[in-house]
Amino acid sequence: MDNVGRYKRFQTPPYPERRWPNTVISKAPVWCSVDLRDGNQALVEPMTVEEKRKLFALLYELGFREIEVGFPAASATEREFVRELAENGVPEDVYIQVLLQCRPEQIDATFEAIRGLPRVIMHIYNPTSVLQREVVFGKSKEEILQIPVDAVKRIRELEASFDGELVLEYSPESFSGTEPDYALEVCNAVLNAWEPSAKRRAIINLPETVELNTPNIFADQVEWVADRLAFREFVTVSVHTHNDRGTGIASAELALLAGADRVEGTLFGNGERTGNMDVLTLAYNLYATGIEPGLQLSNINAILESYEELVKMPVSPRHPYAGRFAFTAFSGGHQDAISKGFAAMAKDPSGEWKVPYLLIDPADIGRTYETVVRINAQSGKGGVAYVLKDYYGFHLPKEMHREFGARVQKMAETLGGELTREDIFNLFRSEYLEKKSPLHFLRCSIDDRTDTEDAFTTHAHLVYTYRGEEAELDCYGNGPIDAVKKGLQENLGRNIRLLDYSEHALNSGSEAQAAAYVRMQDLTTGKTTYGVGISSNITRASIRAMFCAMNRLSDDK
């Protein structure tokens, strides 16, 4: 690309003493939803007070206990919503977070708005990055630092007028574009002004307001600053990442390795530009590694439905965990592996999830296996076999997977789209179960006999139609299948060989049916095919399978 020289990497100092690459995440962070503020401000059509009330209720139900509800000093609608929460009451265990700039008039207005709330996080911020200082404000480092310090002093003056618990949160906005030593200097100046203690909690929120580097660089910045914060034992280190480079979740995860205690984000990543960090995906990622996420996320479909109704934005079908295709396999190789994974799980008493290509059990989050496997022109034999087995009870012999899979693929290519499981079964039925021409089996009787040398033999009396005309046939052989094969071979003048036979029960109970599969070869042409038959009597099922195979061999000729 011609203009690549216009773009420069934001330089951060070397940090070889980093520890975070050797740590692991062992517990869930404190979650803070910013859907009602950061998410809402990015909507084409911002939520009404009623819609915000519904989303607040959903967030609380999901387990969020720190919820940023708005910017009451800058918007009449948001002030109205905050006042409604205060006047109508909120649960005692929830912290209502409000955002404001470090301006005296906004601090005064915010204290008026939060009056009556039991627990409040007062979230102040000011930009500290090189670009913001030089381009937007034209201020020195000293001038920028003094802005939040003066704000904290004003908050402390008004703190006595607030009856509830007040927590201070400070964000050096555009932290990812701020020199780490300067970011630390500003944060510590704020903490020294606030004087955190066991009863005066503080949150230092390090926002990746715009992704400027790879997630490992952000982790370096977080660890370096977090290690050097004043009053560290009374300070919660938080991160707030965005998704400009598409790695907002990765940045948050690496920040947790680097010492962050808390993350801010939104449902499904809604937010400015390319969005905020998706708290649901991060929570499910923790769940997938055996860590209890601390949120009630077992019904992703209900969350998705409420979100799309209130936010009026669709979630991508490829979205992690929540997307319509998140647990769907189109590739034949994937389908085959998934099918084998399910079969192995059924035999594994440990219950440990071990299904290839599926990170977690869809059922754990309210999804079903119904849409796990989709069939189209790119699909393979494994997915087809899985559909017939799990939905219809037919355990196709392994060699038959390829035979029928080819027919399904041809159908998908002809139709030019995805096949439903009903489409697959209807094709299976027409190709095998209803294959009754030119031969159609009607009935038979079986009895055992001995010949003149006392050798055991089976007699089968068949009644069938051939090209619409009824016929009868007496057959003899070593068992019913051998007898019928020999009789048909001699009577129809066909040189055939039985290559394989298998059977299984389709269901249980007094009306149980059996399925039989035979693989036959026409020795004249070399063609082979399977036949399938079902009946409540295994012998009749086997004979029907042989008639089906004979008919399919006739089709091949």
Structure tokens given for 302: 């209900």
Q: Which amino acid is at 49?
A: V
What was the pLDDT predicted at 4? 86
Question: How many Cβ atoms from other residues are within 10 Å of residue 510's Cβ?
Answer: 5
What was the pLDDT predicted at 459? 92
- Dump pLDDT digits (tens) for 284-336: 999 999 999 999 999 999 999 999 999 999 999 999 999 988 988 877 788 88
Q: Which amino acid is at 306?
A: S
What was the pLDDT predicted at 543? 95
Res 456 pLDDT > 80? no
- Dump pLDDT digits (tens) for 419-430: 888 999 999 999
Indicate the SS3 state at residue 395.
coil
C-alpha angle 548-551-553 in degrees, rounded to nearest 5:
110
Beta bridge partners of 370: none
State the Cα–Cα distance between residues 60 and 66, nearest whole angstrom: 9
- 459 in Cβ contact with 475 (< 8 Å): yes
Phi, psi of 436 (to 5 degrees): -125, 30
State the Cα–Cα distance between residues 337 and 331, nearest whole angstrom: 10
Phi, psi of 260 (to 5 degrees): -65, 140
Q: Using CA atoms of 292, 294, 299, 305 in order, give the dihedral in degrees to the nearest 10.
A: -140
Question: How many Cβ atoms from other residues are within 10 Å of residue 363's Cβ?
Answer: 11
CATH, domain 31-311, list 3.30.70.1150, 3.40.50.970, 3.20.20.70, 3.30.1300.10: 3.20.20.70
Structure tokens given for 24: 């692991």
When pLDDT is cut at 50, 70 and 90, the band that residue 167 belongs to is very high
What was the pLDDT predicted at 75? 87
Q: In this prediction, what percent of the chain has a pLDDT beyond 70?
A: 96
Question: 190-204, 460-474, 481-495 — which is least confidently predicted?
Answer: 481-495
Higher pLDDT, 434 or 131: 434
Give the neighbor-by-neighbor strand order of the sheet with 514-522: 496-505, 514-522, 528-535
State the Cα–Cα distance between residues 480 and 544, nearest whole angstrom: 12
Given CA atoms 63, 65, 70, 72 in this order, what sign does their dihedral have?
A: positive
When pLDDT is cut at 50, 70 and 90, the band that residue 557 belongs to is very low
Q: Average pLDDT, whole number, for the chain? A: 92
Beta-strand runs (E) in 77-231: 95-101, 119-127, 165-173, 202-208
What was the pLDDT predicted at 451? 63
CATH, domain 332-433, list 1.10.287.1400, 1.10.10.10, 3.40.50.12170, 3.30.70.1350: 1.10.287.1400
Structure tokens given for 532: 């399938």
What was the pLDDT predicted at 312? 94
**Helix or strand run (H / E) with residue 540:** helix 538-556
Residue that has been written with the tokens 């955190």 in this structure: 196
Is cis: bond before 438, omega within 30 of 0? yes
Structure tokens given for 17: 């003493």
Domain range list for the chain = 31-311, 332-433, 439-556
What is the CATH superfamily name and number for domain 439-556?
Alpha-isopropylmalate synthase LeuA, regulatory domain (3.30.160.270)
When pLDDT is cut at 50, 70 and 90, the band that residue 409 belongs to is confident
What was the pLDDT predicted at 390? 81
Res 373 pLDDT > 80? no
CA 79 → CA 53, 70, 108, 111, 438, distances in Å?
13, 8, 13, 11, 80
Res 358 pLDDT > 80? yes
Question: How many Cβ atoms from other residues are within 10 Å of residue 252's Cβ?
Answer: 29
List the alpha helices (DSSP H) in 348-438. 381-392, 398-415, 421-428
Residue that has been written with the tokens 């911020």 in this structure: 125
Res 120 pLDDT > 70? yes
Q: Give the residue-averaged pLDDT of 155-159.
A: 97
pLDDT winner (highest mean) among 4-13, 333-342, 479-488: 479-488
What was the pLDDT predicted at 371? 45
353 burial type by CB count under 10 A (0-12 exposed, 13-18 middle, 19+ buried): middle
Structure tokens given for 347: 């035999």
Q: Which string of b and e fits 451-479 if b means at least 16 CB within 10 Å? A: eeeeeeebbbebebeeeeeeeebebebeb
- Dump pLDDT digits (tens) for 73-90: 998 989 999 999 999 999
State the Cα–Cα distance between residues 488 and 439, nearest whole angstrom: 10
Indicate the SS3 state at residue 535.
strand
Res 375 pLDDT > 80? no
State the Cα–Cα distance between residues 42 and 71, nearest whole angstrom: 13
506 burial type by CB count under 10 A (0-12 exposed, 13-18 middle, 19+ buried): middle
Q: Which amino acid is at 275?
A: G
Res 266 pLDDT > 50? yes
Residue that has been written with the tokens 């007040």 in this structure: 166
Higher pLDDT, 375 or 415: 415
State the Cα–Cα distance between residues 282 and 112, nearest whole angstrom: 35
